[in-house]
Every structure is written in structure tokens, then in C-alpha cells.
Amino acid sequence: MSDAWPDRIFAALKRAGVSQVGYVPDAGHARLIALCHAEPQMRAVVLTTEEEGVALAAGAWLGGARAALLMQSSGVGNCLNMLTLQRNCRFPLLALVTMRGEWAEFNPWQVPMGQTAEAALRLADVVVCRADAEADVEPTVEAALDIAFGAECAVAVLLGQRLIGRKQW
């Protein structure tokens, strides 16, 4: 498991000095969430809704810390007004978004937000990167970390549903 993509994301977050990880529980991020909880240098913060993680990241940066936000595509819609924080104040944000509703989806309720997430993020002035193959995950997350904390922008990495795999019903 040591080279599975969630492990490589975790290593990249660690190298970048991310110390707060807000998340809404998600199957696609389950391993990454567990890794963050087990890491003493990170504070994993379970959220009730994704927009909390947007504000958490802004507060972290005010205090000189780096935060990441783990969520599912359905959570993008919950974030829109809170993303005005990033736009008005140029707070960095790194959101790692596992996609639903775009590949081998069984649940029709996941499709609308899955199909809208990328456009919604762009409308909110969030830079969008995407990884659909396992080999692309680490370089994409590393590049997104540079944009977030170097260029001080809001960035979302969409992790394609094909990467996460077919959900067994």
C-alpha cells in the first residue's frame, strides 16, 4: 500500500508543511483521512459541511499555518459563498475533490453536482487541476500545492471517479 495514491498525496501534504486537514467523511478519501489522523504533525478536523473547511483554511493562513480540504464533488456546491473569502482576501486554499457522478455512477443524485463541480469552482475563481490516472496524482497535487501556497490562490484538484473506482452496491 505504501505507493497507493492516497499515500502519495499524504506525503506531498507533509512535505509542503500542511498542518490542518479539514474533511467531510468520504469513501474516496478514507485512507488519506486515516493517514492524517495518525500523523502527529497534522490536525485532522472533521467538518459538518465543506464550507467550514474553506473558513478553517483562511483562519489557518491568518495564523501562519497551511490547511487542506478533503471533500467529494457534491460538497463543492456547499462552498460557494464561503469562497468569497479566498477571492476577496487572496487566502490560499487547496481542496482535494473526489469526483462522483461522472464515471460508472449508479446513483443519479450524484450526477448533477458531479457534472457542475468544475464549472462552479471556476466561477468562484478557483484554479482547477485534474488527475484521472494514478501516475498523475502526485505531480498534480504537488503542482497545486505550489499554486495554492506559492501564488496564494484557491486551487482544487479533481480526482476523477475512474481513479477512485466503481462503487460496489
Partner 1 sequence: MVTPMLDRRHAVRLLLEPRGDMLVVCGLGSPTYDVAAAGDDDRNFYLWGAMGGAAMMGLGLALARPDRRALVVTGDGEMLMGLGALATIGVQKPANLAIVVLDNGAYGETGMQASHTARGADLAAIARGCGIARALDVVDDDGLTALAREVRVAQGPIFATVRVGATEHERVLPLRDGVALKLRFRRALGIG
Contacting residues toward partner 1, per CB under 8 A: 19-20, 43, 45-49, 51-65, 67, 81-82, 84-85, 88-91
For the bound state, the minimum distance from the C-beta of residue 74 to partner 1, rounded and expressed in Å, comes to 16
Question: CA 109: distance to chain centroid?
Answer: 21
Question: Closer CB to partner 1, residue 19 or residue 115?
Answer: 19
Question: Closer CB to partner 1, residue 136 or residue 152?
Answer: 152
For the bound state, the minimum distance from the C-beta of residue 126 to partner 1, rounded and expressed in Å, comes to 15
Question: Closer CB to partner 1, residue 22 or residue 28?
Answer: 22
For the bound state, the minimum distance from the C-beta of residue 42 to partner 1, rounded and expressed in Å, comes to 11
For the bound state, the minimum distance from the C-beta of residue 96 to partner 1, rounded and expressed in Å, comes to 17
Question: Closer CB to partner 1, residue 111 or residue 147?
Answer: 147
